[in-house]
Each structure stands twice: as C-alpha cells, then as structure tokens.
Structure 1
Amino acid sequence: MKKSNLWSLRLGFSGKESDKIEKLGLEKFLKHSYDSKFDTQLPAFLNDDPKTLIELKELKEAIKTADSEEKKKILKKEIYSAVELKKWWIDKMRNDEFPLRENMVCFWHNHFVSTSQKVKVNYWIYQHNMILREHAFGNFKELTKQIVKSNAMVKYLDNVDNKKGKYNENLSRELLELFTIGIGNYSESDIKEGARALAGLNYGDNNAVYRKFAEDNSDKTYFGKTGNWKADDLVDIIFEQKNIPYLITRKILKWFIYDNPSEELVTYYGDYFRKVKFEIQPLLTKIFTEEYKKEDSGTKIKNPLVYILQLIDELEIKDFDNAIVMFFLKQQGMDLYNQINVKGWDGGNSWLTSQIYLQRNNTSDLLCSGRSITRKALNSMANADDKSKVEFEKIDIKIDFDTGGNNKTIITELSNRLLFKVNDSIQKDMENLLKYDFDPKDAHANFAVTRLFNYITKLPEYQIV
C-alpha cells in the first residue's frame, strides 16, 4: 500500500486524503488539519430541545401531566434529536476537508465516554461533543478539566449523587483509572478523597457547578497534598504525577497506528508529551511524522467507521444516507454516543469477530452489486433466521482505475490503494478475476474492476492498515 493511502486511512476515514498528503507532504497536511475551522452554530434539530435547567424542569413537569399520546410525542422528539445528532456528526466525518479533527473527536469521545442512553439530554451530549472538538488538538489537562465539569459527565458517572456525607466515587475513580493516570498509579484513599473534592458538583445551565449544601469544604489529602481541593485542583495534582503521560500516549498509538504498541514507544512519546506540557498538537506531529518514516503497515484492524466510509468513497456512491452509516456502525458494535461501558470500544480484534467480518462481506456484496443498503437489509444480515424479503433500490457505483492500463497495472493500482500486502496466492486470484485479455476501455470494464474490488474487500489484508 502506498504511504499516502495508508496514512489517509489512519488520519481520516477513507483514502480521500491521499492526494493531499502526497501533494502537501505530511507536516503541511497536519498543519492544515490543526488550523481547520469548525461550525459552532447550534444544529437546527436541537433548537426546541431543553437547554437550561428551567427548561428541563418544565419538560419533566409536562411529562408528568401529559396524556399517553403527548408522552409518545415528547419521547419521539427526544429520539429524533438523538438520531439527528449522530447523522450530524457522521456528515462532518464524511465531508470535512481535513477530517483529522473529527477523527480526534472520535478518539476523545471513546476516551471520555458519556453515553446518550444514560445522559438522556441531547443538548448535553452535543455540548460534550463540542468540548472535544474545540480542544481536539489543544491541551490534555485543560480538556480533562472541561470534561469533568460537563453536565454530560456529571450525569453519566453519577456525580449528581455525590454529596457531603453520602459520597459516590464513580467520577473520582474513572478520572484516575480511565481518563488520566491508569490502574496501579493511585491508591483507594486518592479515590475516596477525590470523591470528597467532587461532592456537590452538579448540573448547571452551561456546565456543572458546585451546590453549597452538598459540597465538602474540609481539607482532603490527594496524592500526598492537603487542601480544600475542588475539581480543577484534582486535575492539576494528577498531572504532576510521574506516570501521567503514558496511558494517553498508549491510547493514541492504538487508535491511529498500532493495535499493540510497544511499551518502548509508549514511554518515548509519553516523555515527550510531558516535556511539551501536555499539548496534544506537538505530540501528534511527533508521533505521525516519526511513524510515517517507518515501514509499519499491517499493524491495526480498521474500525467500522473507516471500513464503511472507505467503501462508500471507493465506489463513488453519491448521496449515501448517513442514517445507513449510523445503523451499520451500531450493527458492528460502534454505536456513536453509546459505548457499552465507560471503558469505551476495545478496538483491535474486537473489530474483526466472525460475525462482524461476515457483516462487512455482506455489505460489500450489496454495494458492489449496485444495490442500496437499508435498515431492513442490515437487520436481515445480522439475523440469520430472518427470512423476510428485502427490497433493494439500484444505485450507481464506479471504481476509479487507469483506463489506459492492462489487467496487471490495474491490479497493482488497486493493491497499492487498498491492501497492506499481496502474496502470490492473492495475486493469482486477482489475475484470474481480471484476466490478461481484459480491455479497460470496454463498456463493461467497470463491472469487471468492481468484481475485483469486491474480492479485495473480503481479504483479511483489506481489513488491516
């Protein structure tokens, strides 16, 4: 696989960025990505959703007194906004000129997990997502402070139940275990003292705020330091600890490049991260530019986002419904805003179980045959016992290839774009599909190349970058 194609898949969601990476060079491409602008205007579908605490209270009161039809209507509106929020984000991933920011938002989204299923307030989920977008390339410590004080996180990790004399340790524990320093680098006492410091941090109109009747203003001893600590103080103290950089550098390496990064690399980049005072942008530049120089393809299984968006892009499908992308991701275990637990998606081998692999192959079969994917089709593929007849619409598909070449040059072209390696057996299979007498100018040439592409998408070598 050509480096520009490989890194387009790693830094974006498809091969669309390969020409830019080749033309600009990786460092300039990264600078454009960091400088990319993003829309801060509230999406229209959230206009009527409750945003302030008063509006939320009014909605709850309305539900209490509403009849069953009105309750259904309110629930339907909540579900509508939740679905539109997913489609809105998928649209950004697909259409941003430099999608690295959205890929980084997705990384942080899986690091600072907060699900819509539990939070239930779509505006809070949107706020959480926008914090990640704004700080995607910023400072890790500052981002952590913002997330801890977000309404979504306070709700998701039950800090609303954390009050003086009746402590809930969930947010305190995950702040250490999953968000910053990792298991083995703190004590149970730090969790308990942290919970005391976070007691009373509750919902606010724009972000979480301390409630005087519930907060604990006595001294707490946290990592050996004593004082009347609050949320920001906890984060400051955590970021003074020796092992703070390594959990996050390991996760960044796993998200972008290696399913199993070496501890040597984790430490090397972690030490640099501390040196640059936890600024994300220089860390990413160092990781990407140094790893780019290595021959390291075939180290990571594509997540479902990369799989489906690459498929749509390669087949040049116009007007592909973002709702279908959303359903596909859910089927593959990557439901946006709804990880199964606070640890987030595991990644790695979990993205290539036998069932997921079969679903991917079925999806490729459908699209490569020029048939649309519907929610019913996805459900049918997921359920082997479903014998119901599924209707398909025809869609236009087209594969980009050199019409001035021959069978071998076109096979090489697709291999360089799509496969991290090609062995003799694969080469032979491809030459049997696209034979020596293949005419790239023939009216049915695209059909033959699409058949070759379909074969490629089912190879284990295609699932890996």
Structure 2
Amino acid sequence: MESLNQFTQVLGLRRAKHFLRRTSFNFTSEVLDDFSKLTPEEAFNKLTLQQNNKWIEPYDPLPTSAPDGNWTSSTKKPTDFSGQSRKRRIVTSWWWYNAITQNSLKQKLTFFLHTSFTVSKDGGAGTSTHFFDHLRLLEHYAFGNIKALSKKITFDNAMLDYLDNTKNNANNPNENYAREFLELFTILKGPQKGSGDYTNYTELDIQQTAKVFSGIKTQVDRSLIDTDTNLPKGRIVINQHEKNDKTFSDAFNKQIIKGQNTEAGIEQELDDFVEMIFSKEATAISFCRKLYRFFIKSEWNDEVENSIIKPLATELKNGNYEILPIVKKLLISKHFFDVSDSNPSDEIIGSIIKSPLQLISETISFLKLEIPDPVNNSGEFYTFFNFIHSSFLAASGMNLWSPDSVAGYPAHYQEPDFDRHWFSSNTVLARYKMIESLITGRNKVGNNGRIQVSIHLPSFVKDTIKNASDPIELITELSGYLYPEVISEERKNYFAENLLEGFPNYYWTSAWVAYTNGGDDTIVKSRLDSLIIRMVNTPEYQLM
C-alpha cells in the first residue's frame, strides 16, 4: 500500500543521493556524506533554511567604455538599455550561479513554479529587467502560497507582455492569458465534454476571465511597487476594464463576480476570481499532479492517484495552498523513498531521466569544477556560462527559461514520453560531449572554443576518494556517488578494464602512488579522464 506516512530512518548514502538529486542543483560528496547521517525531516529542514544569494545582482560589463553594470537596479527605463537578449542571458546566469552554489530547495521550487506559470525569456517576456523581476517573484513564492502567486503573477510585467494581457481591453478583448491561466496554469481542462465545454470550465469561462483581467497593463518604468513582495508590478487602466458583472458557467455554479470601476474594486474582482478557481478540488489536484511529476515520477497508477495525490490535494486546499507543507509531506514520505510497497516494477529511485540542467549542474558541482567569479572575473564566467546556455543546454533540448511554448518543456507535460523527451537522437550527442568539454576545457558540443575552465580529475579523486590506489575500490566509491543504485561486480570490472587498459591492478596503484608522492599526473590524468568520461556517459548516470 502506497503511503504518505513519514519515513523516519537515517537516510544513508543511497537515499541521500535520491533526496538531493530531486531537491537541489548542488550535489557534492561532502553534502552527500553529511545528509546520509540525517533523517528525511532533518534533511528537508536543512534544505529550507534561509540562504542568501552568493551573487546579489546581475552585472553587465558592456559596453566597455561605460558598462551598464547593475542595470536591473537602475532608475532608467528598462527599455533604455541595449543588448536585451544578452542581458536576459546574464539574468539567467545570475539565477543559475546562485542555484548551483547553494544547497537549497528554493531553486528547485522556483523552477517548478516556472514550469507551472510559464514565461519564455526570449519569446515575448519583454525586457531583461522585467524578466529579472519575474524570477524574483517566483523565488519570493517558492516557499510560499500558490494562490497568492496566481494573483501577483497577473500583475507581473513579464507575464503581461508574454501572454498579451497588456493588450486586453474591454472594447477589444484578448483571451490569451485568460485561456492559459485556466488551461495550463491552474485548474486545467479535464476531459472534453462537448464543443467548447471541458470538465473543469467552458469557453464562456475563458471569455469571462478575460473580462476580469481586462485593463491590467505593463508599467514599463517599474514605478509601481507591490507592497507584499516589494517588487515592481503592472498597472490598472480603469477606462479599459470591463465594468459589467462577469457570470461564469455551471462549472462554477454560475457564480457572478461583480463588476467594479475603481482600482481597488478591480483588484477585488481579481481576488474573487482567483478564490473561485482555487475553491475547486480540480485546481488542488492539478498542482499536486504537477508536483508529483516534477519531484517523484512522470507516470503513476490509480493507487498512487487515490492514496498519494488526492490526499495531498485535500491538504493543499485545506491549507489555503501553502506549498511547502505539501512538498515536505511528499518528500519525507515512505512513498518517496520507495519503502511503502514491495513491488519492484514501480521503483521511484532512479526513475527520472535528468534534465540537461540537472545533468550539467550536478556534474559540475560533484566534480568540483571551479566556476569563475561572476563579479571579479566576469569575462571568463560569461564565456563559461555561454557554453552551458547556448551550446550544451540548447543542443540538449532545453532553452533555459525559454521553453518553446507556453505549455512549457515537453518533459513536464507531453504524454506518453514525459522526461524521456530529454534523451533522444537529437540530444544524445550533446549529453555525451558535455563531460568531455568540462574535462578538456573546450566546447566539444559546439565550436571547440575554450570554455575558460576545466576539471582536474586527479585532484578531485585525491580529495574525494578514500582508497583511490586500488582500482576496484576507486570505481566502487565513484559509482556509489554517481549512480542511483549499487552496480554489479561485472560492471565494476568493465570500468576497471577501461582504467587499466589491459594492465594488472598494480599498474594503476604504482601510477597513483607516483602522483600522490611526487605530483606526476601524466598517467593518472589520462586514465581518470577516460574512466570518468565512460562512467558519466553510461545509462545509469542519466537517471536520478
């Protein structure tokens, strides 16, 4: 029987790996060893402690003669700055750097909210500054309230631009944002019952929703500040708002939202509308299914639906849509750790294909690649991040913060493959060239140019592996960290053959002793490079 009962045993290495991969972009041996001594609740509490961003604010070193610097806090209009596409990439690098340098659940939940309230940074979300505000809004509510976010994001300048609500007027309705708010962001369609009639809402409800949203516009100069989030927000143009009452369909019991003609009244309309949507069980269920797919597994059976997802949805709704208690209950449950049933065919550990973002972030942090400082060494940092963003992630099918459609990344919504979309004939080469790029310091995914940094594996192994002089022990320890499950002796011998090149074990032992005693890494570097490339490019490493 699948169970949400709390798992209370100490994690150990296997479950610590599982927990950290699902909850963080930072994955080091030190953190793994630390978390392996904790219970799930202790580990969860540690990941939700307040952590400050290491990089406070994006910085643009161009133009060289007079850098735009910290342009996101400038009093100038966001549209006054040139190079918006490059600046949006800098904002993305700001988020990624803080995600990979913290052990926090906040970044994973921020990204989850992105998959639920999608904006494409390069697909119509406006200026880089508004995109920066959008990320901060998601981060603000990552440990907060989904219902509150649903209200605030309607005033988000990036969202207003992206889904055209800034063009939505009483005399010229634009239903784009209204449609996606219902269909993708909150309650979802449910099975279609007839023409324009879905289980959870109808076309009439989209029309009425657009009227609720009418007259809410972008505020380009960021002069309006939301008192709850302290972030810039959009504005209300009263004479462009539909002031008549809005009557919804039978799906919402023909509820009437009274039309208003003041700013406070229009905000009250929005509040009443969101409360109506979130009063429905289907909305709570949709968010719990999204959470399950993001953190646990892309597919599930009726037992999981009835014993895991629906009870969580009830708690989410009864708890007024506070996200953190629900995530905690799920991530410290027996179900999450695969101990609530004895069916080996539905394992959760190792059941998700890593996204390109998870794959490269985990690899960089685990192998201790030294990332250039984005403030004091911005040139090298941006060169390195451009490799990540524009070469590896793009070639791997993940345009970071820029999914191809408002539905998001296919891995999160497109049946029947879901996360299997990450691994295809179109993306496999980039995934396999990633580790070679990080080891050689050259962009093997793209133009073979320098990426400014590289991993020195002998140093990593010396600092991380306790018994590196024995080839089988070396591979046992490495695979114990790298893979979700323990590998067979046959698999270890396969990797040992790659390390030894047909020589006996003492060949490696002698080379390792020569390196640790005298610093000669000629042999060990060559062999470790080959070994790690082989181990990272296995099917086991693609899973979490």
So what's the TM-score if we normalise by structure 1?
A: 0.86
CA distance in structure 2 between the partners assigned to 1:125 and 1:404 by the alignment: 46
CA distance in 1, matches of 2:450, 2:277: 56
Q: How does 1:1-400 map to 2 (within 5 A)?
A: 2-16=14-28, 17-39=31-53, 42-45=57-60, 47-48=70-71, 55=77, 59=80, 75-76=82-83, 78-96=84-102, 98-117=103-122, 118-184=124-190, 185-204=200-219, 205=222, 206-222=232-248, 223=252, 224-228=254-258, 230-262=269-301, 263-264=305-306, 265-290=308-333, 291-294=335-338, 296-319=348-371, 321-327=384-390, 328-347=392-411, 348-367=419-438, 370-374=439-443, 377-380=444-447, 395-398=454-457, 399=461, 400=464
1:441 has 2:513 as partner: yes
Moved more, 441-450 or 8-17: 441-450
Residue 392 and residue 175 in structure 1: after superposition, are their counterparts in 2 closer, same or farther (change >3 A)? Answer: closer
Q: Distance between the aligned counterparts of 1:247 and 1:6, measured in 2? A: 25
Counterpart in 1 of 2:531? 452
Q: 1:242 to 1:5 in 2, by over 3 A?
A: closer
Structure 1 position 192, deviation (Å): 0.8
Secondary structure of the residue that 2:271 maps to in structure 1?
helix
Residues 309 and 49 of structure 1: is their aligned pair in 2 closer, same or farther, counting only changes over 3 Å?
Answer: closer
- 2:239 match: secondary structure: coil
Counterpart for residue 491 of structure 2: 426
Deviation of 1:292 (Å)? 4.2
Deviations 1:56-108 (A, max 9, x none): 67x4xxxxxxxxxxxxxx533x2332221111111101112x23211111111
* Number of equivalenced pairs: 435
Structure-2 change in CA distance of 1:159 and 1:354 (3 Å): same
Secondary structure, in 3 states, of the residue corresponding to 1:75?
A: coil
Which stretch has the larger CA shift, 449-458 or 165-174? Answer: 449-458
Counterparts of 1:357 and 1:270, CA distance in 2:
37
C-alpha displacement of 1:402: 2.1
For residues 187-206 of structure 1, the C-alpha deviation after alignment (integer angstroms, 9 at most, x for no partner) is: 11111111111111111332
Structure 2: tracts of 5 or more residues without a match: 1-12, 61-68, 191-199, 223-231, 260-268, 340-347, 373-383, 412-418, 516-522
Report percent identity of matched pairs.
23
Classify the secondary structure of the residue corresponding to 1:317. Answer: coil
Distance in structure 2 (CA, Å) of the matches to 1:390 and 1:116: 26
For residue 431 of structure 2, what is the amino acid of its counterpart?
A: R
Unaligned runs of 5+ in 1: 60-73, 381-388
Q: Does structure 2 retain, via aligned residues, the 8 Å contact 1:87–1:322? A: yes
Q: Which amino acid aligns with 1:159?
A: N
Query: Which residue type is aligned with residue 329 of structure 1?
Result: L
Q: Is the 8 A contact 1:51 1:123 kept in 2?
A: no
* Residues 126 and 161, structure 2, Cα contact 8 Å, conserved in 1: no
Query: Do the aligned residues in 2 keep the contact of 1:178 with 1:343 (CA within 8 Å)?
Result: yes
Give the drift of 1:267. Answer: 2.2
Please state how far the C-alpha of 1:461 moved relative to its aligned partner. Answer: 1.5
SS in structure 1 at match of 2:282: coil
* Pairwise CA distance, 1:393: 6.8
Distance in 1 between residues matched to 2:143 and 2:20, nearest whole Å: 18
Q: Decide whether the 8 Å contact of 1:114 with 1:153 is kept in 2.
A: yes
Instruction: Confirm or deny: 8 A CA contact 1:259 1:301 kept in the other structure.
Output: no
Alpha carbons of 1:409 and 1:44: their partners in 2 closer, same or farther (altered >3 Å)?
closer
Distance apart, 1:392 and its partner CA: 7.8
- Paired with 1:132 and 1:258, the residues of 2 have a C-alpha distance of 23
The letter of the residue matching 1:395 is: S
RMSD, aligned α-carbons: 2.6
Q: Which amino acid aligns with 2:256?
A: T
TM-score by length of 2: 0.74
Specify whether residues 51 and 254 from structure 1 end up closer, same or farther in structure 2 by C-alpha distance, changes over 3 A only: farther
- Structure 1 counterpart of 2:344: none
- The whole-number CA distance in structure 1 between the counterparts of 2:402 and 2:207 is 28
- Deviates most, 223-232 or 169-178: 223-232
Q: How far does the alpha carbon of each residue in 1:374-426 deviate from its partner, in whole angstroms, 9 at most, with x for none?
A: 4xx4324xxxxxxxx75687834123322366333222212221123435653
Q: Which moved more, 1:155-164 or 1:265-274?
A: 265-274
State the one-letter code of the partner of 2:186: T
Matches of 1:281 and 1:416, distance apart in 2: 30
Distance 1:3 1:209 in 2: 48
Deviation sequence 1:6-32 (CA, Å, 0-9, x none): 221111124224234224433223223
Q: Are the counterparts in 2 of residues 332 and 351 from structure 1 also a CA contact under 8 Å?
A: yes
Please say if residues 130 and 157 of structure 2, whose CA atoms lie closer than 8 Å, have aligned partners that are also in contact.
yes
Contact in 1 for aligned 2:126/2:162 (Cα 8 Å): no
Paired position in structure 2 for 1:64: none
Determine if contact 1:149/1:231 at 8 Å carries over to the other structure: no
The 3 A distance-change label for structure 1 pair 284 and 238 is: same
Task: Give, in whole Å, the separation in 1 of the partners of 2:273 and 2:74.
Answer: 28
